[in-house]
Amino acid sequence: MISMHIAIIGCGRIGQSLASLLLNEWYVSELSLVDVAPNLAKAVAEDFRHASVALRRDVEIEGYENVKDVEKADMVVVTAGAPRRADQSRRDLAVKNAGIIKNIAEGIYHKNKDAWFLIVTNPVDAMATLFYQATKSGRVVGSGTHLDTIRFRSEIARRLGASTADIEGFVAGEHGEAAVPLWSTVKVRGVRLEDFVREDVATFRNEIEKAVKEIAARIIRYSGATIHGPVHAFREIIRSILLNEAKILSVASPYKIENSEVYLSLPSIVSSSGVQPVLFKNLTDEEKKKIEIAAKAIYKTFKEATRDLNLR
C-alpha cells in the first residue's frame, strides 16, 4: 500500500486549495502545512482534520510555523511568497520572493534530503533555480509551463469545438513572458492542426497565443487569483512523480546556459526516476531559438533576484 507524506509550504489560497485537493488523494497519508503567520497553519490543519472525517479518510495533518519542523516528507510543495497582482508580471515578484525561497530551502532540506521538491512560487523558473542552487538537490522540479500547456490546449479545444482529451501540444520555455508555444507538437485526434483549422493558420495561432498570455491577468483582475487551474496542474505533477505515472508534462528542470544552469520547461517524462526532457530534437529551429531566448530571460531574472543573496 502506497503511503505518502506531503508537506505544503505556504497556507495562502494556493496552499490551502492544494491541501484540500490532496486530502482526497488515496495515496496521501500525511500532510504537513507550514506558514510563518502565527497559528495559521495549525488552524488550517484543524479545519482539514474535520474535512478528513467527512471524507472517511485517516490522514495525519499537522501545522507548523517553521519549515525546520517538517521531517521525512516524500514531497515538499513550495507555494509561499508574494501573490501576483493583475498589473504585475511574474518577474516583478522575483526580488521579494527570492529571500523567502532561499530561507525555505536552507531550512527544510536538512531533514528532508530524500524528498522531491516541487517549486510553484513565481517567478517559478527563477525560484526553482534558486532552490536548486541553495540545496544542490537533484530532486527539485519547477511547475514551469505545465499550466501554460493546459491553458494552451484549453484554448485550442474551445476554438475548434473539440474535446480537450483530443488535443496534444505543449508550451515550453518560461512560465510567463517568454513562454514558447510549441506548435510543431500540436495534434488534434492525432492529426495535424492545419487539417482542422478552417481560417488562416497564422491568425489562429496568434489569437491562441494572445489568449494564453493574457488569461491569468484577466482571472486575477476579476476573481482575485488563479487557484483551481494551478492546483490541479500541480496535483498532476505530484501524482506523476510519486505514483510513477511517467506522464509527459512540460515542467522545469536544469537547462545549460553559458557557464551555468537555469530551470526551464521542456516536454519531459516525469516519474519517480526524475524529469527526462523529450521531443527537443523534433522541434523547429524557430522553437529552439525561442527556447534559448527564454533561458536567457530566466537567467537574467535569477541573477537580478539573487544579487544580494549569499548563495553557496
Q: Which residues are catalytic?
A: 175
The answer to whether the bond into 123 is cis (omega within 30° of 0) is yes
Which among 83, 104, 100, 144 is positioned nearest to 305, based on CA atoms?
Answer: 100
Sign of CA dihedral 127, 285, 171, 271: negative
Distances (CA, A) of 68 to 14, 74, 120, 312: 21, 15, 20, 19
Inter-CA distances, 29 with 6, 58, 234, Å: 8, 7, 18
Closest among 65, 70, 80, 176 to 119, alpha carbons compared: 80
Least Cα distance to 173 among 138, 216, 124, 215 occurs for 124
DSSP letters, 230-288, are: HHHHHHHHHHHHHTT--EEEEEEEEEEETTEEEEEEEEEEEETTEEEE-SGGGS-HHHH
Return d(Cα 311, Cα 234) in angstroms, integer.
27
Residue 186 cell numbers, joined: 500540436
Instruction: State the cell numbers at 191.
Output: 492529426
Name which of 176, 175, 80 is nearest 121 in CA terms. 80
Q: Under a CB-based contact definition with an 8 Å cutoff, are residues 118 and 238 in contact?
A: yes
CA 46 to chain centre: 27
